[in-house]
Chain A
């Protein structure tokens, strides 16, 4: 039994994480005044499921905490307690507390004591009478009247019975809530000979006297609300009708339910189905080919050719579809930002509205996960340093509320993610000054604004000093750049002083395919990731110099670049030893350029990345392997590793 439960524990933690995320975004919607009663219901449901799960798995603290939370939420959705800003803040804090409880439970530790404080607060509010400022809250209808009569019209759709739904369950449940009288509406009944036994022709007019709220009544109809017309009207004239509810026959769809949520490796059934379909088609194509081969004669060659082409087509699509299984929407990371922006802005006394677009854009799971931290960093930076205080903004003639926009979209074979703010932008002159101070550029260097802005991604640029004083950005931007480089992506900044800044990531759709440059060294072919390549040249003899103790350099436009002899580094015999007779590929790595000497460039190609670690281990200087058109394996070079290797080589040479 122990083992069985443990199996489900993982699922529980995953689900709780999702629930907490949903609660959080729903609470933020409430905060922003965008929530309605359905939002409250969603929050309640999350708390309820969490409580149930926590109970099942014996996480007592979690269960106790969620119980208090749940009952508070229950009173909120029944409009017994008004939704207020401090209350929502408290609920947000509860979500944080729940997270710590979940973490602790996951590690089997005793939860940190902070929950006691919050639970007391929740408890106090739970018991409290309805708050007086209920009118200001958008989603809070006034106090539910004690004993109310409801006039309910319940008209099931004709398909109700075919869906195995039983209308009498509704009547029975309603009868449990209070005093129920029902009147059947038989106007839709056809003549006996036309009657279809599986079609529902009946409707009911119900009169219910109850002290429970509208929500309980609505809950009864929950299972059939999609296939029935339901109207619930309170008829107790003495009590004010709850306004929010009366008009919403079916609760309006909120953004909440559309919000993408995905856990570790959940794949949409549709994707799997399509994959299975394709495999089926592939098998048919294969058996057709086998049929042709059976008693093959030369005149059937065209048929065979066609069959092979068919198989090839299916195989390609199969690969494409299989890759899509790994895709997930970027919304899974975007969803954390409303909270982050809300909290950061609040802590800094700023007003920021966050706009999110393209959250359904899909890209590789690995890319999505590895972009989470860099994006978090950028969003926090934008709120912290980019967007000004309300007073400053008004002085600059901008609205007090800053705007932050997160967008994702497809472009060619890439996904673009943009983080744009309308804050103060980058201060080019000061970045330049800082760059000179840090020794990254020389005072006499002539650089475009773009080149200067790119300096903030250089490792030596950011320091412990608050860079916000200087540029508005910069803390740990080199880390962001590094993460993007590791994904074979790129990052660029567009900024206008005083108008804002946009940081734009260009990311590959998948880690499984790489745009590569094929090059030859002796008899071997290697692949270089295209994103890191700046240019390739054949240097004149005078461009190549030997710097004592530092190895060779190639001087390109007055810039001396270290020359790495790839053949030497990889211990591969090469044809060319004189750089002036071979080709030099200039690549950029962490803002530094190096020149790689190769025999020949063979062209550009998309290659499927295979891991060397699957069957072997990591090899320095090699990022992975791929399979070329002729079926041979070729290695993909890792520029960071090559640079490290060359340093080691230099050191050992110096020692010798």
Chain B
């Protein structure tokens, strides 16, 4: 419920003032998630596969006694797979009541993005379905795609979230 309210009040990230985003890389593109959604960042460790689930669900990990599902964002966005390396990390986010890990190529930075810098997502030019994008921002030379992870993870049965679906 609170989640829903949050989204309704701030449908596309155009809030007044400045928001902080954790940015990460998938291939050459830089993405950002709201830092308030991020619980922690972990190095990639062995994931226990879950049978009969979509390929982008890598499996589950033990996060201090809690079993947490891990989503490979490359696979989710239908990008070509790469080998996991020492930069590969799992960003642990909270969506509603649920805790989920996201596998990304590397984390890059924490950015303060002023509301004025945020643009609506264009229909073309990014590989990610615009439904999952809350906005775009250009800081310096670099463009960052800001993800709406609530929508991203509640779609396609990644998370059966009653409060969001």
- Residues of A whose CB lies within 8 Å of any CB of B are 524, 569-572, 610-612, 614-617, 619-622, 625, 627, 631-635, 645
Contact = CB atoms under 8 A, between A and B. Distances in A.
Given A571-B51, A631-B62, A633-B62, 17 more contacts: A524-B49, A569-B51, A570-B51, A572-B49, A611-B67, A612-B50, A612-B69, A615-B100, A616-B50, A617-B159, A619-B52, A621-B51, A622-B51, A625-B48, A627-B62, A635-B51, A635-B60
A614 B51 contact: no
Contacts of B69: 612, 615-616
B91 interface: no
Interface string B41-81: 00000101111110000011110011111000000000000
A614 B98 contact: yes
A627 B61 CA distance: 9
B9 to A, nearest CB: 23
A619 B49 CA distance: 12
Nearest to B57: A616
Nearest to A525: B48
A146 to B, nearest CB: 64
A621 B52 CA distance: 9
A223 B11 CA distance: 61
Contacts of B109: none
Interface string B23-48: 00000000000000000000000101
B115 interface: no
A524 B60 CA distance: 12
Contacts of A615: 66-69, 98-100, 159
Residue in B49, B51, B99 with the greatest tally of chain A CB atoms within 10 Å: B51
21 contacts: A571-B52, A614-B66, A615-B66, A615-B67, A615-B68, A615-B159, A616-B69, A617-B159, A619-B50, A619-B52, A619-B53, A625-B67, A627-B65, A627-B67, A632-B48, A633-B48, A633-B60, A633-B62, A634-B48, A635-B50, A645-B52
A611 B99 CA distance: 13
A617 B51 CA distance: 13
A610 B49 contact: no
B157 interface: yes
Contact of A632 (B46, B52, B98, B160): B46
B67 A620 contact: no
Contacts of B62: 627, 631-633
B121 to A, nearest CB: 28
Nearest to B98: A615
Contacts of A631: 62
Nearest to A631: B62
Main secondary structure of the interface of B (DSSP, over half): strand
A114 B160 CA distance: 44
A627 B64 CA distance: 10
Contact of B60 (A569, A625, A645): A625
The 6 closest A-B pairs by CB, nearest first: A570-B51, A616-B69, A617-B160, A625-B67, A633-B48, A610-B67
B101 to A, nearest CB: 9
A569 B69 CA distance: 20
A509 B135 CA distance: 52
B17 to A, nearest CB: 31
Contacts of A572: 49, 51
Contact of B67 (A612, A621, A645): A612
Nearest to B95: A615
Interface in B117-165: 157, 159-160
B70 to A, nearest CB: 10
Contacts of B49: 524, 572
A627 B48 CA distance: 11
Residue in B46, B62, B157, B160 with the greatest tally of chain A CB atoms within 10 Å: B62
Contacts of A524: 48-49
A622 B100 contact: no
Residue in A524, A614, A631, A633 with the greatest tally of chain B CB atoms within 10 Å: A633
Nearest to B68: A615
Nearest to B157: A617
A619 B157 contact: no
Contacts of B52: 570-571, 619-621, 645
A625 B67 CA distance: 7
A614 B160 contact: no
Given A616-B159, A633-B60, A633-B61, A610 B51 contact: no
Contacts of B99: 615
A512 to B, nearest CB: 12
Nearest to A625: B67
A610 B66 contact: yes
Interface string B71-106: 000000000000000000000000000111000000
Contacts of B159: 615-617
Nearest to A618: B160
A632 B53 CA distance: 19
A24 to B, nearest CB: 37
